[in-house]
């Protein structure tokens, strides 16, 4: 049965459990064994709770056998980034500072997964306080990319990307403040979906930047991502997903978004565009606005809001932050209040200008997810500080502004590089147009 389970994606596993071909207990026992074995070898696991998960699985099986209406995720084992609070359970945010923290509340998204019958196996590795696009964590070490253990898995939802890509679970929730779902999605060969800001509730989730934070899924397929989003957003994003793309218009912005592409990535992206064209999409070239000011506005929001949350710890426990993380938070202490309010007040007009320029009269925009091949772990932690900072900054080149704009975006795989690591594109939609994505 284990080998059969390994062949199933999230929706396939949900279907198998619904008809009784697989029990929730068997699926959960299999996932726990995979997480405990391969998951720990890849450093993707923070903690597992087998007793809690199996109790949920037994309840799911009981619900099915007594003929209750089918739930969307009934009996499907999942595991999530260690930022989602469950009352009384540990939630440490990849940090040293929050070791031993047990919240008194449960995140709304976990409550919705519970209500849909999902099984929560435990918490997954992440960047410290969700502050790295590579998955960097000085306290717990990096999660290892299943496609190449010497390469970064993407962050900050690194453990989620590794666990789904390695087949340990069929789906996972993460968060995205500047690309933290799309980075592991791109680097691990998955669909990483950042919803429109505000679509999915973030209460009971460890915050980083309230104006930018989004909760979304990492999954193997678009349908799996749609199933998870349907549950956590309480809407139907799955119906119609097989309808195809014929008649849609895809804008391909140049300039900023093409300037740093390496030849290998450029070739793969062009191949992906060709596939969309052959599938019936109209392809149009476009030009984005000047991205420098937009990135600056995004940086102001992120750093000020993060510094506000961390100010007390920065003053009292600066030594308990990794230097790379502290260096990214501290600048927020020095921005004038007028700059922060300006960044908030300009958001709507800047978003409208980006839409009009980057995707005029188009349904979607096609962007790189990452402009270069997946970097090695050593290149992001060793060597000259300026070189390391440049690589880290380049990873977010195509993702970070989308959070400021509040738009929905998804990364998806489109091939492999010469080293066997995934290559991905990024699709950006109009506000609340997740169904098109």
Q: Helix, strand, coil: what percent of the chain each, to 5?
A: 45, 15, 40
Asked if 156 is an active-site residue, the reply is yes
Evaluate the CA torsion angle 393, 314, 309, 152 in order and state its sign: positive
Neighbours of 28 (CB within 10 A): 26
H/E stretch holding 194 reads strand 191-194
Q: How many helices (H) and strands (E) does the chain have?
A: 16, 11
Q: Which two tokens stand for residue 26?
A: 């068997």
Q: Which two tokens stand for residue 50?
A: 């087998």
Given the residues 91, 156, 160, 286, the one annotated as active site? 156
Report phi then psi at 329, rounded to 5. -90, -40
Given the residues 91, 95, 158, 180, the one annotated as active site? 180
Kind of pairing between the strands at 364-368 and 249-253: parallel
CB 414 within 8 A of CB 195: no
CB 366 within 8 A of CB 312: no
Asked if 81 is an active-site residue, the reply is yes
Given the residues 81, 194, 371, 411, the one annotated as active site? 81
Burial class (CB in 10 A: 0-12, 13-18, 19+), 239: exposed
Asked if 127 is an active-site residue, the reply is no
For the annotated catalytic residues, the residue numbers are: 81, 156, 180
């Amino acid at each position: 049965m284990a080998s059969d389970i390994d062949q199933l994606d999230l929706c396939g596993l949900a279907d198998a459990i619904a008809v009784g071909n697989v029990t929730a207990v068997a699926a959960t026992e299999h996932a726990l064994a995979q997480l405990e074995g391969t998951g720990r070898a890849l450093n993707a696991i923070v903690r597992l709770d087998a007793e809690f998960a199996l109790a949920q699985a037994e309840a799911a099986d009981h619900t099915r056998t007594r003929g209750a209406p089918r739930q969307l995720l009934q009996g499907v084992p999942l595991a999530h980034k260690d930022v989602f609070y469950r009352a009384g359970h540990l939630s440490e945010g990849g940090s040293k500072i929050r070791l031993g923290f047990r919240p008194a509340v449960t995140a709304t998204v976990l409550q919705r997964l519970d209500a849909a019958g999902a099984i929560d196996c435990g918490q997954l590795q992440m960047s410290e306080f969700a502050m790295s696009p590579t998955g960097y964590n000085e306290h717990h070490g990096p999660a290892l990319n299943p496609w190449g253990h010497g390469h970064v898995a993407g962050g900050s939802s690194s453990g989620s990307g590794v666990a789904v890509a390695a087949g340990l679970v069929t789906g996972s929730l993460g968060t995205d403040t500047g690309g933290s779902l799309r980075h592991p999605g791109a680097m691990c060969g998955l669909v990483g979906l950042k919803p429109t800001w505000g679509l999915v509730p973030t209460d009971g989730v460890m915050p980083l930047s309230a104006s930018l934070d989004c909760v979304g899924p990492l999954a193997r397929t678009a349908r799996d991502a749609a199933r998870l989003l349907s549950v956590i957003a309480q809407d139907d994003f799955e119906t119609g997903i097989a309808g195809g793309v014929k008649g849609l218009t895809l804008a391909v912005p140049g300039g900023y978004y093409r300037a740093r592409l390496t030849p290998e990535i450029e070739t793969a992206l062009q191949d992906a565009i060709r596939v969309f064209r052959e599938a019936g999409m109209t392809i149009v070239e476009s030009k984005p606005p000047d991205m420098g000011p937009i990135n600056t506005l995004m940086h102001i929001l992120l750093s000020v809001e993060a510094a506000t949350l961390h100010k007390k710890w920065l003053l009292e426990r600066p030594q308990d932050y990794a230097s790379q993380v502290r260096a990214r938070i501290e600048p927020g202490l020095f921005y004038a209040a007028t700059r922060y309010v300006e960044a908030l007040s300009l958001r709507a007009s800047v978003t409208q200008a980006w839409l009009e320029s980057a995707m005029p009269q188009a349904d979607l925009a096609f962007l790189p997810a990452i402009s270069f091949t997946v970097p090695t772990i050593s290149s992001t932690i060793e060597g000259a500080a300026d070189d390391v900072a440049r690589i880290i900054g380049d990873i977010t080149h195509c993702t970070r502004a989308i959070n400021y704009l509040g738009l929905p975006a998804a990364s998806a795989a489109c091939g492999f590089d010469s080293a066997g690591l995934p290559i991905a594109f990024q699709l950006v939609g109009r506000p609340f147009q997740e169904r098109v994505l």
